[in-house]
Amino acid sequence: MNTKAAQDTRSEAQVAQRLSKIRIVLINTTHPGNIGATARAMKVMGLRQLHLVTPKTFPSAEATAMASGADDILHDAVLHDSLEGALEGCSLVLGTSARLRSLPMPQMDVRKAAESALAEPESQDIAILFGRERYGLTNDEIQCCHQLVHIDTNPDYGSLNLAQAVQVIGYELRMSAIGEAGVTVPPADWVPVDAGQMERFYVHLEETLLDIKFLNPDQPKRLMMRLRRLFSRARPDQNEINILRGILAASQKSAGKRDS
């Protein structure tokens, strides 16, 4: 093998390694053909991890037909009963959304999102969420995201189907990975905890705020949404989450002593 061919092989291996940490997460997909078309779009761009949260129909002959040679992606797809399970082990969660909600969250374009995803420490996965065909992600699902990704389209006609959206994001991820190939990324001084730990922290936080009577039990959602946004920006590592959980536990203990 000549030197150039060896370099190309190593570069493609590096690209594949970087893309191997990306999870494409489809939530409650209605049409199995969209799952198959998504698998095809993923394989073309070198993405391997397909996670399905409560799809209406899967496995399906229609999905296999639309995959058109990407049957291996469908075969290896991971099924989940809840979004929390699909996010377990992910340090960064990006949600695709076509519109802003009542509580705006940080948004970035696809190119910036791809760069951010591939700059993550390689010890954990990155999830990119795609919602239902008709109305996308729910507000609760958006609250599980660190940031939202917006695909800029013609304002007069911005309709993208599911597989097209995955294709656009997959292309930017691949281009970013190729640009990064062969570059040594210095180790980060922190590794953020995964989405599962963050969800357990949010449960503990809400319980504590109720215990110390800071949170109105009749209207807890608004404040918790803002606190989620705050901690999603901060993205604590393991030591930091341990400190926060310790503070919460001490607060609960103190509140119990006062009550007694």
The answer to whether residue 3 scores a pLDDT higher than 50 is no
Amino acid residing at 51: H
Task: Please confirm whether the linkage preceding 106 is cis (ω < 30° from 0).
Answer: no
Per domain, the residue ranges of the chain are 3-180, 195-259
pLDDT tens, residue by residue, 15-67:
999 999 999 999 999 999 999 999 999 999 999 999 999 999 999 999 999 99
Mention the CATH class of domain 195-259: mainly alpha
Place domain 3-180 in its CATH homologous superfamily: SPOUT methyltransferase, trefoil knot domain (3.40.1280.10)
The reply to whether 195-259 shares the fold of 3-180 is no
pLDDT tens, residue by residue, 198-231:
999 999 999 999 999 999 888 888 899 999 999 9
The residue-averaged pLDDT of 185-200 equals 80
Mark 138-156 as b/e (b = at least 16 C-beta within 10 Å).
Answer: eeebbbbbbbbbbbeeeee
The proportion of the chain whose per-residue pLDDT surpasses 70, expressed as a percent, equals 88
Amino acid residing at 83: L
pTM reported for the whole predicted model = 0.77
